[in-house]
Structure 1
Amino acid sequence: MKKRNDFAWLPLNSLRAFAVFHGTGSVGAAAHALRVTHGAVSQHLRGLEDRLQRRLFVRTGNRLVMLPEAEELADSLLGHFRAIAADLNQFRRGDNILNVTVTPHVAQHWLLPRLDDLIRRHPEIDLRINADAAVHDLVQGDFDAAIRYGDGNWPELNCERLFEGWDVVVAAPSILEQVSIQAPRDLTRLPWILDEDRDIEMSRWFDDHGLDQQAHSRITRLPSALTLAAALDGHGVAWLPHVYAAPYLSSGRLARLFSDDRWAAQCRHHYYLCWADSKNGPCLRAFRQWIMRQLAG
């Protein structure tokens, strides 16, 4: 006897619109997320009420508001749709592929120097590294994990603290011979190298120390991955994460300025490894364990 197909009746497009409406909070946002028209989402929501023969919404002014029991259903559907998406992504890409997005500094100065050890210990992992400063969607996007800098407070993500991060003002000894540096204002007499991805943070440092960026002799903005190299070559003063500058401070290739700077201490954050529950497969678990061994060793 042929088994009855008990899910053929499901109005999948309407259920998806219903779940996305709940996740985004409005018909317009749901339409944008689904890449359909506002009217199409509204039609799906009305059709779902007709199909289920249950009232799901009340209208308040120009807004649709879900009833409590409808919210519970939508929460459940969102979880199931995300699980389906994760299964399909895993099947599409293969079990051994791990897509990780990291900041350029982390990729160049922390991850890549240790990559040989990861390959030796875990040859089964096909690691794909994306190095940019963008914050990618780890829940519904293609990336399995990210190494991010901040406070670790990112909704829907698991965040495992890796190492502390704070910023230091550094320069090659060769350019410090040009002027006497006694106070932050003396730095305006030297060229500066700024990370173009952290321009806002750097501006706050200038403001906090009463410095006018326009008063500097020269400011060059470079991609994150090039700022450290430019500082080492003596092209200017740089504002860098301590974790990347530390080896060069120890060797004397860079000198730290204003080591008692209270501003740096107040603005400390951490680097975190972040991932969504739906992406926590064997490769990611192995990668997490490898990172923790690197930090412990």
Structure 2
Amino acid sequence: MARPLLPSITALTAFESAARHLSFSRAAAELHLTQGAVSRQIRQLEETLGLDLFERVNQRVFLTDAGATYLADVRGLIDGLAAATRRVMASAGGGGVLELAVLPTFATRWLMPRLPAFLAAHPGATVNFSVRLEPFSFADDRLDAAIHHGEATWPGAVCVHLCDEQVIPVASPSFRDDHSIGRADDLARVPLLHQATRPTAWRDWFEAAGVDAGAVFRGSRFDQFAMIAGAAVAGLGAALVPRFLIEEELRTGRLAVLFDRPLSSGTAYWYVFPEEKSGSALVRVFGEWLARESAPVA
């Protein structure tokens, strides 16, 4: 059956490029076409739609309101087609492809060192990574699953508990020695490093330790635990960091646990996937593997 009003991918690609650059000539250079070819594709698209997508003023082009609206949808379609193409190409191994949203520090410091074991146990499987710092719509982003920090609240999704977040006070050995840190109250007088999304962590830790710390909010703030760990290694201050994110630094002695007094943030890490993916074997086995790897050691 014929499909009416279905423009060619060539015309849509020409439109998207010209709209992004606001230039037919730059679109032509990007697509390795002549400017005339790009112009013809866009004119044919406009004729199919029955409206103008561009205003042409003094050899310059501008998107019409209809063109701007259409661009958002076309860009989503092209991105989706590109993603689908990458997935089918990656599936040549026969083990399936998992599109996973990750938190960057969790992925680089905890997941990556363990991932070879999963791939060895599931030959042919491919895991693709995209960074997402906040919850998102699986329908819009076309992702299969996500690593999420926070509460087990994600509409239309299954949340599998991985581990609770507990932070411990750490610093470089030289920082510890230079500041003569031997008791919990010694931390009340040294530079403190803060995670921007856990602004009260140091206050809560001092309260749990029974220390009247005074100005606990002083010191530098960082968006990611990876940056805090790097700053602590460099001797910029004491930090509160989850132990599982600094395994390498602790193993090599670049960081030292100052006091074995972990503080629970009251939040956790979760493996999240949309309910409609419950039947996917790769989504399921990856989540089961993550849960086993992150389970507390008995």
TM-score using structure 1 length:
0.56
| Aligned counterpart, 1:291 | 290
List gaps (5 residues or longer) in structure 2: 2-64, 66-80
CA–CA separation in structure 2 for the residues paired with 1:206 and 1:288: 32
| Aligned counterpart, 2:176 | 176
| Aligned counterpart, 1:73 | none
| Aligned counterpart, 2:237 | 236
Per the TM alignment, residue 174 of structure 1 is displaced from its structure 2 partner at its CA by: 0.9
Report if aligned partners of 1:144, 1:276 keep a CA contact under 8 Å in 2. yes
The 1:120–1:206 alpha-carbon spacing in structure 2 relative to 1, beyond 3 Å, is closer
Aligned-pair RMSD on alpha carbons? 3.8
Per the TM alignment, residue 100 of structure 1 is displaced from its structure 2 partner at its CA by: 1.0
Which deviates the most, 273-282 or 241-250?
Answer: 241-250
Aligned residues: 209
| Aligned counterpart, 1:274 | 272
CA–CA separation in structure 2 for the residues paired with 1:260 and 1:195: 18
Q: Does 1:157 align with 2:157?
A: yes
In structure 1, the residue corresponding to 2:113 is in which secondary structure? helix
Report if aligned partners of 1:148, 1:274 keep a CA contact under 8 Å in 2. yes
The 1:245–1:278 alpha-carbon spacing in structure 2 relative to 1, beyond 3 Å, is same
CA–CA separation in structure 1 for the residues paired with 2:158 and 2:82: 19
| Aligned counterpart, 2:134 | 134
Per the TM alignment, residue 203 of structure 1 is displaced from its structure 2 partner at its CA by: 6.7
Per the TM alignment, residue 90 of structure 1 is displaced from its structure 2 partner at its CA by: 9.3
Report if aligned partners of 1:175, 1:236 keep a CA contact under 8 Å in 2. yes
CA–CA separation in structure 1 for the residues paired with 2:84 and 2:288: 24
CA–CA separation in structure 2 for the residues paired with 1:132 and 1:224: 15
In structure 1, the residue corresponding to 2:193 is in which secondary structure? strand
Report if aligned partners of 1:104, 1:224 keep a CA contact under 8 Å in 2. no
Amino acid at match of 1:118: F
Amino acid at match of 2:273: W
The 1:212–1:139 alpha-carbon spacing in structure 2 relative to 1, beyond 3 Å, is farther
Per the TM alignment, residue 156 of structure 1 is displaced from its structure 2 partner at its CA by: 2.1
The 1:175–1:249 alpha-carbon spacing in structure 2 relative to 1, beyond 3 Å, is same
Could you list the per-position Cα deviations for residues 85-142 of structure 1 after superposition, in whole angstroms to 9, with x for gaps in the alignment? xxx9996644633211122221012111012223323343231112342222235432
Amino acid at match of 1:162: L
List gaps (5 residues or longer) in structure 1: 3-35, 37-87
The 1:170–1:289 alpha-carbon spacing in structure 2 relative to 1, beyond 3 Å, is same
Alignment of 1:85-234 (within 5 A): 93-94=87-88, 96-181=96-181, 186-196=186-196, 198-202=197-201, 205=204, 210-213=213-216, 216=218, 218-219=219-220, 221=222, 223-234=224-235
Amino acid at match of 2:193: I
Identity percentage of aligned residues? 26
The 1:174–1:118 alpha-carbon spacing in structure 2 relative to 1, beyond 3 Å, is same
